[in-house]
Structure 1
Amino acid sequence: MTKKFIVLLLLFSLFSLAQEEKELYNFSLQQAIEYAIQNNYTTINANRDIEAAKKKKWETTTIGLPQLNANLNYQNNIEIQKSVVPAEFFGGNPGEFTEVAFGTRHNMVANATLSQLIFDGSYLVGLQSAKVYLQISQNAKEKTELEIREIVINAYGNVLLARESVKVLENNKKTLEKVVFDTNETYKNGLTEEENVEQLQITLSQVKSSLSNANKRAEIALNMLKFVLGIELNESLTLTDSLDNLATQNVDLIALNAEFNVQNSIDYKIGLNSEESSRLLLKLEKSKALPSLSANLNFGYNAFSDTFSFLERDQRWLNFTNVGVGLNVPIFSSLGRTARTQQAKIAYEQAKTKLKETEQKLLLEFQSAKTDYEYSVEQFTVSKENLRLAERIESKQQIKFKEGISTSFEFTEAQRQLYSAQQSYLQAMVDVINKKATLDKITNTK
């Protein structure tokens, strides 16, 4: 019995550990973008906004559909209202009045009302506005996806940049430690000055400090990417793309010669939505000068009693039914309606001007993004060549330093030039990726 209990306990423990095991994610850049579009916190709410807009559209539609409402009212006349009548009606003296109570102490009415809007200009405009509202939500979602795409690309690239920086610094540290060791041994044999050892130790300390900071930055960059993707920070995430491959893939000379159609930009589409909304607002104010027509059918039962006997079977209920038609005709509003219409007209003109401003702004942003991307491609090529030259110079200076031909200052300067070229090359690769993402966002390229 004890053995069975122990086995069951072990099985339960293993099951619990399996449940607590972290989920593993392996993403290329494209997979990360696709995952973020579905799971990023902002995109999730953007999808909910669309669902809310659909419900709002239906809510507006129902205003013009039949409406059925039921009411049940009970009244207890604690003190029945009285009136006076000439006393002579009841055999009294002429000129005198007698108090008379009309009604019963308990009253109850149950009725249902069916109403239907026949014509209302505001309702027709409201239907059009509901469609525009849905379009606004859909365009907002598309803009959110484009922004998330750019953010994911930047975050993904920052993680790769941080990790490549760590690799470069670790390699530099390893190489420098060997040089410091060899130089120190040479100093012990009296073949070089102590200053050369100290100079190299200073450089080594700086590299170690940079490496420690790079490791911390790499962890922060990875957590930032997880946050953008909508992944818990304690989950495991592996990136399958390399920085060099992504940079090469994003060198697209065709994109530099592509034409830009401003009407395809999501910002321009949103501007069109704003203009249409203002136009409908103007139309709404004008429609308020039109008459509105509605009809209703009311039917029900009422009952009266001096005692609360409405739940008894022999209680008498009296039915009633009526039909009504209502016509509301706006005649004069002391020019208030005219003032509101003029305000809406001004807002519409402002929206058209804003759309023109957006068009020109997008053309300028495209020109700037295209120039930045072109420059990043050039810098990528230049920094790659500069890195090759810096590696050759540092290698020659290291040989000269070991042979005693050059000083530690010359060797250290070559090292600093190499380290700077390494970081410039890594940053150039990230810039190509990021600048291409910015250009794609403006041109609405996915």
Structure 2
Amino acid sequence: MKSVYLIPLGVFFGFVFSTKSTNAQTLDLASCMKMADTANLQVRNAQLDIEFNQKQRGAYLAARLPQLNFTADYKYNAKIPGQVIPAEMFGGPAGTFTTVQFGVPIVLSNTVQLTQVLFNSQVNYGLAALAVNSEIVETQKQMTIQDVRYQVANTYFLIQGIIKQLDFIDSNLVNTKALIKNMESMVQQGLVIQTEADKLKINELTLANTKASLLATKDQLESLMKIYIGYPKDAIISFEADKLVENTILVDQSESNFLALKMVESQKKMNEEEKKGIKMGYLPNLSFYAAYNYNVNIKPEDNFRKGIDGAFLGLRLDWNLFDGLEKYHKAKMNALNKEKIVNQYDLLNQQLEMAVDNNRKQIEVKAGALSITKEQLQLAESIHKNAVLKFKQGMSSSNDLILAENGLQQAQTNVVATYIQLRQAELEYLKSIGNIK
């Protein structure tokens, strides 16, 4: 299966977003998926598989049409072969034999032959198998589309996490720089020592380093998205913001399309066609043929030339009366394979039901977790605001301020991480029911 670009939650400590260009095309999730449905190379290859199957059907149908062949043969007999016959045929004594030569040195032969298959069991089986295979490749295409949409949506929401984390980091940098400036003024006045200011500078450097490292991650995700949706790699791309709310991508939960089960159902049909094909193998094949032949016999030394033509019609019956029990053993293998497919269908059905139920529960858990982390963020912002105020009033130390800043950054990261977890849980649910739109 195709790989999915996932990022551990720990890296959300540094999600950032680069400055947008006014020339960048802004895309939402629906636009990205629509572009991927037509431009993604995996989807295009799946469509080519469908077209390939159609061409295969045309090749099988061609076997039902008449076949016309022409052959030409030039033969020079350097020594005309002889044949032993009874001598009495030419007045010789009985019981003796003589050697005679028939033919001329040069023979030109031209033949046109027409062949028409009247009945061929394997051709009929091949057409039936291709009809089932057309269902299989169509289902494979739909599965590919769902996989690609999953990859696109997952990457889209990871980028959204980076964008939101940037807002937090930029805000933290502004606040930290303002505090450092205020702290340096206090150092000059002798109110605090330089170490207190250096503690805040460490926080500033950490934020700046995180921003730089995650900018590279964002570039990687955008490059990956361009591959998924067939976007020019040198073009600037940007994305519409996704609000931190619950269940926004669960549009229609009632419609289920279990593609994996459809695939197994098609395998059942193929197994049945194979069974029919094995039985049809006991029948003979019948074909009609007709030919016209024209030979030119030449003997240069006598200036002899003679053209002789001929034509014939015929029916050809090919019947394998005993194949060493090959078809018998194939039928046994087919029966065993049918049992395996039935077991596979039952197991897959149970697994899908469990996956759908678990994914639905995960959505509820992650939605609740997002609400909690958003509330925690509000509390952390309030605590940080009070810590800054007390620090400016000289009522608390820089350690208390840094502790409040770290708590705020952790709360911000938790919100972004939980947002991503919720979106991924929603995607897993939609993927399990085959309904990513």
Shift of 1:98: 4.2
Alignment of 1:109-258 (within 5 A): 109-239=109-239, 241-244=240-243, 247=245, 250=248, 252=250, 258=253
Shift of 1:45: 0.9
Question: What secondary structure, in the 3-state scheme, does the structure 2 residue paired with 1:73 have?
Answer: strand
Report the counterpart of residue 301 of structure 1 in structure 2.
Answer: 294
Does the C-alpha gap of structure 1 residues 354 and 291 become closer, same or farther in structure 2, counting only changes over 3 Å?
Answer: same
Report the counterpart of residue 33 of structure 1 in structure 2.
Answer: 33
Cα offsets for 1:285-320 (capped at 9, x unmatched): 122122222222222322222359xxxxx9654332
Separation in 2, partners of 1:167, 1:304? 96
Question: What secondary structure, in the 3-state scheme, does the structure 2 residue paired with 1:243 have?
Answer: coil
Counterpart among 418, 429, 432 of residue 422 in structure 2:
432
Shift of 1:432: 2.9
Separation in 2, partners of 1:67, 1:105? 33
Report the counterpart of residue 285 of structure 1 in structure 2.
Answer: 278
What is the letter of the counterpart of residue 404 of structure 1? G
Percent identity (aligned)? 21
Whether 2:45 is the aligned partner of 1:45: answer yes
Whether 2:413 is the aligned partner of 1:414: answer no
Counterpart among 352, 375, 383 of residue 385 in structure 1:
375
Q: Check the 8 A contact 2:40/2:229 in 1, yes or no.
A: yes
Whether 2:394 is the aligned partner of 1:404: answer yes
Does the C-alpha gap of structure 1 residues 238 and 201 become closer, same or farther in structure 2, counting only changes over 3 Å?
Answer: closer
Q: Check the 8 A contact 2:299/2:305 in 1, yes or no.
A: no
Report the counterpart of residue 57 of structure 2 in structure 1.
Answer: 57
Q: Check the 8 A contact 1:112/1:299 in 2, yes or no.
A: yes
What is the letter of the counterpart of residue 305 of structure 1? I
Q: Check the 8 A contact 1:275/1:355 in 2, yes or no.
A: no
Separation in 2, partners of 1:27, 1:346? 51
Q: Once superposed, what is the RMSD of the aligned Cα atoms?
A: 2.6
Q: Check the 8 A contact 1:162/1:221 in 2, yes or no.
A: no
Whether 2:310 is the aligned partner of 1:320: answer yes
Report the counterpart of residue 334 of structure 2 in structure 1.
Answer: 344
Question: What secondary structure, in the 3-state scheme, does the structure 1 residue paired with 2:191 have?
Answer: coil
Q: Check the 8 A contact 2:111/2:291 in 1, yes or no.
A: yes
Out of 34-43 and 399-408, give the one that drifted further.
Answer: 399-408
Q: Check the 8 A contact 1:136/1:270 in 2, yes or no.
A: yes
Cα offsets for 1:123-161 (capped at 9, x unmatched): 322221110111111111111111111111111222222
Q: Check the 8 A contact 2:298/2:306 in 1, yes or no.
A: no
Q: Check the 8 A contact 1:66/1:114 in 2, yes or no.
A: yes
Separation in 2, partners of 1:89, 1:331? 44
Separation in 1, partners of 2:394, 2:104? 123
Separation in 1, partners of 2:205, 2:67? 80
Shift of 1:379: 2.0
What is the letter of the counterpart of residue 225 of structure 1? M
Out of 220-229 and 377-386, give the one that drifted further.
Answer: 377-386
Cα offsets for 1:79-119 (capped at 9, x unmatched): 33222345566677776654433222332332232222222
Q: Check the 8 A contact 1:251/1:432 in 2, yes or no.
A: no
Does the C-alpha gap of structure 1 residues 28 and 142 become closer, same or farther in structure 2, counting only changes over 3 Å?
Answer: same
Separation in 1, partners of 2:295, 2:368? 88
Does the C-alpha gap of structure 1 residues 117 and 88 become closer, same or farther in structure 2, counting only changes over 3 Å?
Answer: closer
Q: Check the 8 A contact 2:246/2:367 in 1, yes or no.
A: no
What is the letter of the counterpart of residue 280 of structure 1? E
Does the C-alpha gap of structure 1 residues 73 and 374 become closer, same or farther in structure 2, counting only changes over 3 Å?
Answer: farther
Separation in 1, partners of 2:295, 2:360? 78
Out of 397-406 and 92-101, give the one that drifted further.
Answer: 92-101
Q: Check the 8 A contact 1:250/1:432 in 2, yes or no.
A: no
For structure 1, list consecutive stretches of 5 or more residues without a partner in the other structure.
1-22, 309-313
What is the letter of the counterpart of residue 403 of structure 2? E
Question: What secondary structure, in the 3-state scheme, does the structure 1 residue paired with 2:107 have?
Answer: strand
Cα offsets for 1:356-389 (capped at 9, x unmatched): 1211111122122212222222222222211111
Alignment of 1:85-96 (within 5 A): 85-86=85-86
What is the letter of the counterpart of residue 33 of structure 1? M
Does the C-alpha gap of structure 1 residues 335 and 168 become closer, same or farther in structure 2, counting only changes over 3 Å?
Answer: same
What is the letter of the counterpart of residue 279 of structure 1? E
Q: Check the 8 A contact 1:121/1:284 in 2, yes or no.
A: yes
What is the letter of the counterpart of residue 350 of structure 1? K
Does the C-alpha gap of structure 1 residues 153 and 251 become closer, same or farther in structure 2, counting only changes over 3 Å?
Answer: closer
Question: What secondary structure, in the 3-state scheme, does the structure 2 residue paired with 1:71 have?
Answer: strand
Report the counterpart of residue 5 of structure 1 in structure 2.
Answer: none
Q: Check the 8 A contact 2:107/2:296 in 1, yes or no.
A: yes
Out of 161-170 and 361-370, give the one that drifted further.
Answer: 161-170
Report the counterpart of residue 19 of structure 1 in structure 2.
Answer: none
Separation in 1, partners of 2:254, 2:73? 70
Report the counterpart of residue 71 of structure 1 in structure 2.
Answer: 71
Cα offsets for 1:196-245 (capped at 9, x unmatched): 22221221121111011121111111111101112232122232x21227
Does the C-alpha gap of structure 1 residues 307 and 183 become closer, same or farther in structure 2, counting only changes over 3 Å?
Answer: farther
Separation in 2, partners of 1:82, 1:351? 66
Shift of 1:24: 6.5
Q: Check the 8 A contact 2:387/2:404 in 1, yes or no.
A: yes
Question: What secondary structure, in the 3-state scheme, does the structure 2 residue paired with 1:192 have?
Answer: coil
Separation in 2, partners of 1:78, 1:435? 86
What is the letter of the counterpart of residue 359 of structure 2? A
Which structure shows the higher helix fraction? 1
What is the letter of the counterpart of residue 270 of structure 2? S
Does the C-alpha gap of structure 1 residues 98 and 430 become closer, same or farther in structure 2, counting only changes over 3 Å?
Answer: same
What is the letter of the counterpart of residue 318 of structure 2? N
Question: What secondary structure, in the 3-state scheme, does the structure 2 residue paired with 1:290 have?
Answer: coil
Does the C-alpha gap of structure 1 residues 182 and 332 become closer, same or farther in structure 2, counting only changes over 3 Å?
Answer: same
Q: Check the 8 A contact 1:142/1:266 in 2, yes or no.
A: yes
Cα offsets for 1:28-79 (capped at 9, x unmatched): 2111111111001111111111110111122222223333333223333333
What is the letter of the counterpart of residue 396 of structure 1? N
Cα offsets for 1:153-203 (capped at 9, x unmatched): 111222222233233222211211111121122122121233322221221
Does the C-alpha gap of structure 1 residues 178 and 297 become closer, same or farther in structure 2, counting only changes over 3 Å?
Answer: same
Question: What secondary structure, in the 3-state scheme, does the structure 1 residue paired with 2:231 have?
Answer: coil
